[in-house]
A and B are shown apart, each in its own frame.
Chain A
Amino acid sequence: MERPAWAPRSIDISMPSVARMYDYYLGGSHNFEVDREAARRAMEFVPGLPKIMQANRAFMRRAVRYAARAGITQFLDIGSGIPSFGNVHEVAREAAPGARVVYVDHDPVAVAHTQAVLEGAEDADVVAADLRKPRDVLTSPQVERLIDLNRPVALLLVAILHFVEDTDDPYGAVAELRDALAPGSVLVVSHASYEGISLPRERVEGAVDVYKDIRNPLIMRSRDEIARFFEGYDMVEPGLVPMAKWRPDTAPEDEDPYAFSGFAGVGTKA
């Protein structure tokens, strides 16, 4: 049957995707020229974007290990994007054998790719859903199959909340997720900010504009605004800090200056 012409297309690979741009920053080839082109434009303003992404990956890896050491074996990664090396399930399994992971993304290509990567995996799955509709995430068959919400969960909102505009009520969505988790759960957040980055603000705004152009605006928030995502949770030491300062494995002087951009933190539910 012919598709009615008034039905909208829902996949347009001629539009850059932030998930594939992220892969490109990390040296991957899971991307198309439109993605690379947009990423290169953003890098003209902020050349250290790959380093920032790398620092973000490193933070996530440390946070997952932290959660695993805290005894958590269930991981819910919302905004997981294109799974490249060192993904949550690899890190988690390494740190906590038998860990279960559910990835969530609303980019259909990212979801399809994740499905391919996870082919045959019993303890990891992916959900096509939107952070802005937490109910869809929490009631998905994948979450119901792999995650017991009566036991602690590590909820990963890594480099995702800065893609949710205030009009879409990110605080309400995160609150709903926080409330759904059992005591002992942890919330892992990293978020872009004008604070801490070693560049003049106009340069960063140039990169922000690129994201606006690709209709995926990057919402820069202050440290205080980011801290509100943890409302009701206890901050784990050292609190909400630049990414590279969150429980670093190595001396900070070894880190690239870009690694101190944005804020990262982990909170626990009492």
Chain B
Amino acid sequence: MSAEPDGPEDRLRRFATIWSRAVFPATSTSLTRPEFEELLLPLARRLSEALRARTYDAAEGRAVGAALVEAHCTEPEALSRALDCVDAYLVLYCGGDGHQEDLRARAARLQSAMAAGYAEALRQRTLAEQEAIARAALEAQGAVARALHATEARFRAVFEGAAIGIGIADLDGNILQVNGALLRMFGVTEQTMLGRCVVEWTHPEDAPQVWRLYEELVRAEREHYHTEKAFHRPDGTVLWTNLTVSLLRDADGNPQYQLALMEDTTERRLLNLRLRYEATHDALTGLPNRTLFFERLEKALAAGDGQRFGLCYLDLDGFKAINDSLGHAAGDRLLVEVADRLQSCATAPGEMVARLGGDEFVALTTGPDTESEVDDLADRIMNALVTPVRIDGRELLVRGSIGIVEGPAGERGPAEVLRSADITMYRAKSAGGNRYEVADAEADARAITRHGLTTALPAALDRGEFFIEYQPLVHLGDGTVRGAEALVRWLHPQHGVLGPDRFIPLAERTGLIVPLGRWVLEQSVRQAREWQRRHGGTGPLRVNVNLSPCQLTHPGLVQDTVEILERAGLEPDALCLEVTESALIGADDDLLKPLRRLSEMGIDIALDDFGTGYSNLANLRRLPVRVLKLDRSFTQGMQQFPADPVDLKIVEGIVSLAHSLDLAVTVEGVETGAQAEQLRVLGCDTAQGWYYARPGPPERLHELALVDATG
């Protein structure tokens, strides 16, 4: 806007400029000062016109005051500055040529009106803004409440719809709120539940720490805990739960409530119990099975000082025969009946009966007095079996063998105890059955060693733990060494050198005797060939090798023997196979055929231990035997002086009989020169025994033979 310099318009603008400069620093406007001046210019014009108007109009002054508030001059300081400015400059710049006194009076009234208008506008504005912000706060709170309500509704739905039980209690344990799932679990109404106290919820099955954890939680020493807990239901049944309890704190962290979440595990628990029962009980008899028995035995053996245990290991005698003849169904019924009777024998606390499998049962008694109790228990069991069992109209007589182990807890493990009982039971069985035996350490040790040797045998052969000693066979006529008997030894890593009596029966039982026997034959034949090579001039040295009954019936016997001889390059007549008399008792032609074949090839067959069994002299003719070896029991009678005349007669008779059948006679166990002389006089052909030499390494024989040759 252009204005004539110092004209009214220019003067008005100058007033506005002065006014804006005075007020601007006291405003809160975000306008710039020039913008603010533009805002004030129309107000200045209104004041200017009101100043000079014919009649005074207070409304104009009030409007200008209100406009200042509108322009954000809300600080009282702004009004004060505005009024000062009007007072000082309005008449000066805008008064024109009017009467100064009148103008001043008019300006003063305008200032009053401005102040009133300003105050009124500021009051209105303040009230409006206060109302607006209060309404906004209310609205906001309403919105929050609505949101909270929605949240709460969702929460409520979760709370009510949850499959797990939820309960809230204060820190004194008073139950404040519970959901439907929890009420259904307990089978009660909300009324009976609310107001009750959680500390009433004790149960005999509570784990020891449960209430300690609870106390820690309500004392705010713990934020939550988790446990398995049982509760009484009003109908008398038990509710089992997985329970999690958490401490709830308010916004400032002060503990306020406890929250319990519980899952009903009653059915799962029952299922577990049933599975556990099935896993620990025998399906046929319902008795505890091996698993449960071992648990109990373990517990009994781990019991403290003064506690003992007694164990009866029962195996029915001849159960297999019943099973085989009457069928498994009958066998099973018998077992069920036996189980029932056994159960009635062990009813006292600390006693139990279990079925280990098949027809094997165990009865266990525990406590301080098992030393006497276990015998009573065994008696009761034997008595319980006395009455025959009636099955399919038959009266079956049931007998059993019992092995008893009794002792203090804390010394042996369950496996060791059970093995001892098993061994003892077998002792009772081999003593004829229908009896009980009490375990004794020595018998156990023997059995255990036997067991150990049996299992170690196969590896021992592979590892070359066997070796052979040779005992010379001496011609009684001229005293020369004619050969040797091969005797197998086992150099056991723990037990040292073991004689054949310790392991040959075991090898017989396990069948290992076949490869072992073949190995002995190979070694001996090769040794005989070696002797021949070194004693070319002094005639062949023969070797005697023992054949066990098992080897006799082995189909490869002839073939193996031929191959072994051929491979070593030894003539068959340098080999003598010794067979025990007992192995040939009642032998039929099938059994004798391989011996005949061997004999036909030129191999000598010797009848070992002659005279110990039931010697069927007539049978001798039929056997392909060329040598009789008299058992050492005959020579024992000749050790004293003078010799037992009966023994002499018997030996004389046997020798004469043998010779008449064209059999040579060898005597064993010659220990003195007198014996040797006697036997020579009686006509025996060959002898072996300590008088000549103990069994020894092959080199020893070589030396003896050399002595012969040079002597």
By a beta-carbon cutoff of 8 Å, the part of chain A in contact with chain B is: 1, 3-11, 13, 20, 23, 25-32, 50, 54, 57-58, 60-61, 82, 85-86, 108-113, 115-117, 249-250, 254, 256
Report the stretch among B133-141, B283-291, B295-303, B663-671 that lies at the interface: B133-141
Q: Is B14 an interface residue (CB 8 A)?
A: no
Q: Once the chains bind, are B133 and A113 in contact (CB under 8 Å)?
A: yes
Q: Provide the residues of chain A in CB contact with B126, threshold 8 Å.
A: 29
Compute how far the CA of A28 lies from the CA of B129 in the bound complex, rounded to whole angstroms.
8
Q: Provide the residues of chain B in CB contact with A57, threshold 8 Å.
A: 30
Q: Is B455 an interface residue (CB 8 A)?
A: no
Q: Is B130 an interface residue (CB 8 A)?
A: yes
Q: Provide the residues of chain A in CB contact with B35, threshold 8 Å.
A: 249
Q: Provide the residues of chain A in CB contact with B137, threshold 8 Å.
A: 11, 13, 32, 109, 112
Given contacts A20-B133, A30-B129, A109-B136, contact A85 B29 (CB under 8 A): yes
Query: Of B30, B139, B144, B148, which contacts A54 at CB under 8 A?
Result: B30
Q: Once the chains bind, are A7 and B152 in contact (CB under 8 Å)?
A: yes
Compute how far the CA of A111 lies from the CA of B140 in the bound complex, rounded to whole angstroms.
8
Q: Once the chains bind, are B139 and A112 in contact (CB under 8 Å)?
A: yes
**Chain B's interface: helix, strand, loop or mixed, by majority?**
helix
Q: Is B257 an interface residue (CB 8 A)?
A: yes
Q: Is B304 an interface residue (CB 8 A)?
A: no
Q: Is B25 an interface residue (CB 8 A)?
A: yes
Q: Is B347 an interface residue (CB 8 A)?
A: no
> In the complex, given contacts A6-B257, A32-B133, A85-B72, what are 10 additional A-B residue pairs having Cβ atoms less than 8 angstroms apart?
A3-B145, A8-B251, A27-B28, A28-B74, A58-B31, A58-B32, A108-B141, A108-B143, A112-B143, A254-B33
Give the 5 A-B residue pairs with the shortest CB-CB distance, closest first: A113-B136, A29-B129, A108-B140, A27-B28, A57-B30
Q: Provide the residues of chain A in CB contact with B153, threshold 8 Å.
A: 1
Query: Of B32, B133, B139, which contacts A249 at CB under 8 A?
Result: B32
**Chain A's interface: helix, strand, loop or mixed, by majority?**
loop
Q: Is B250 an interface residue (CB 8 A)?
A: yes
Q: Provide the residues of chain B in CB contact with A54, threshold 8 Å.
A: 28-30
Q: Once the chains bind, are A29 and B133 in contact (CB under 8 Å)?
A: yes
Given contacts A27-B74, A112-B137, A256-B25, contact A3 B143 (CB under 8 A): no
Q: Provide the residues of chain B in CB contact with A60, threshold 8 Å.
A: 30
Closest to A86 in B: B30
Q: Provide the residues of chain B in CB contact with A29, threshold 8 Å.
A: 125-126, 129-130, 133
Q: Once the chains bind, are A50 and B148 in contact (CB under 8 Å)?
A: no
Q: Provide the residues of chain B in CB contact with A111, threshold 8 Å.
A: 140
Closest to B251 in A: A8
Q: Once the chains bind, are B30 and A58 in contact (CB under 8 Å)?
A: yes
Q: Provide the residues of chain B in CB contact with A117, threshold 8 Å.
A: 132
In whole Å, how far is B91's beta carbon from the nearest beta carbon of chain A?
A: 28
Compute how far the CA of A86 lies from the CA of B35 in the bound complex, rounded to whole angstroms.
13
Q: Once the chains bind, are B125 and A116 in contact (CB under 8 Å)?
A: no
- Cβ contacts B104-146/A at 8 Å (1 or 0 each): 0000000000000000000001100110110111011101110
Q: Which of A1, A29, A31, A85 has the most CB of B within 10 A?
A: A29
Q: Provide the residues of chain A in CB contact with B30, threshold 8 Å.
A: 54, 57-58, 60-61, 85-86
Interface residues in B1-53 by Cβ distance below 8 A to A read 25, 27-35
Q: Once the chains bind, are A10 and B250 in contact (CB under 8 Å)?
A: no
Closest to A82 in B: B133
In whole Å, how far is B176's beta carbon from the nearest beta carbon of chain A?
A: 9
Closest to B257 in A: A6
Compute how far the CA of A60 lies from the CA of B30 in the bound complex, rounded to whole angstroms.
9
Compute how far the CA of A28 lies from the CA of B69 in the bound complex, rounded to whole angstroms.
11
Closest to B130 in A: A29
